[in-house]
Amino acid sequence: MATETPAVPMVVPDEGAPGETHPAENVEAPNPEEELFSNASSGGNPVNDAACTSLALLLVSGLRGMAQQHDLFTDLLRTTNYMKAFASQCKNSEDQLRLRLEEAEASLSAVREDNEALRADLAEAKTGRSQRQLRTEASIEKKQKEDLQLRLVAQKEELEGEFAADREALEADYQKQVDDMFFFGYRCCKKKNGIKRDVPSIPPGKEKKLLDKPAP
């Protein structure tokens, strides 16, 4: 298989000026495959020609493999350079973040100190205010207890008065019911015994005895 041979500059002597050389333009380097094929076509030993052809193909394959390895190494080198640049950038970013973190920690420490001072002042002020507030609350609570006690005493007296009035009304009602029952029984007894008058008739001889009889 034939490969394209790149043009290589060659140095040719200048006929006008001895000792000086000038680069020749567009002079192609000899192609090893073409030379081998030309030698094979010119007539020679077939075994040597086949060996030369196989050697030439092997050489071309090796050159292609070397070219591919060169491209691969170039890509690896480019990737390595990119990774180095990326690692350097990451390191710079990490240094910046570390610096910002240290600044933030310093600011946080200062804020904590200020917070502790404010907390101490607040605790002191709160202690004084708490004492005043406790005294005020105690005074208010005492006044509320006194007012509640007065209201309870007034309610007690009012309830006792209402209870006494209700008791008297119940007693009067009960007595009325007792009297009504007594008179109802008395009337029933009169009606049953045929008594028409409420004043009992006492014989003349027994009236004196009843008057002289001592009371039990």
Pairwise pLDDT comparison (136 vs 5), residue with the higher score: 136
Phi, psi of 181 (to 5 degrees): -65, -40
- H or E segment to which residue 142 belongs: helix 46-193
Query: Is it the case that residue 32 has pLDDT exceeding 60?
Result: no
Instruction: Note the residue count of the chain.
Output: 216
In this predicted structure, what is the pLDDT of residue 191?
A: 73
| CB contact burial 82-121 (16+ within 10 A = b; e otherwise) | eeeeeeeeeeeeeeeeeeeeeeeeeeeeeeeeeeeeeeee
In this predicted structure, what is the pLDDT of residue 21?
A: 43
Phi/psi zone of residue 43: left (φ > 0), alpha (ψ -120 to 50 degrees), beta?
left
Confidence label for 13 from pLDDT (cuts 50, 70 and 90):
very low
Query: Is it the case that residue 14 has pLDDT exceeding 60?
Result: no
End-to-end CA distance of the chain: 167
- CA 166 to CA 42: how far, in whole Å? 155
- CA 5 to CA 29: how far, in whole Å? 7
Amino acid at 81: N
- CA 187 to CA 195: how far, in whole Å? 9
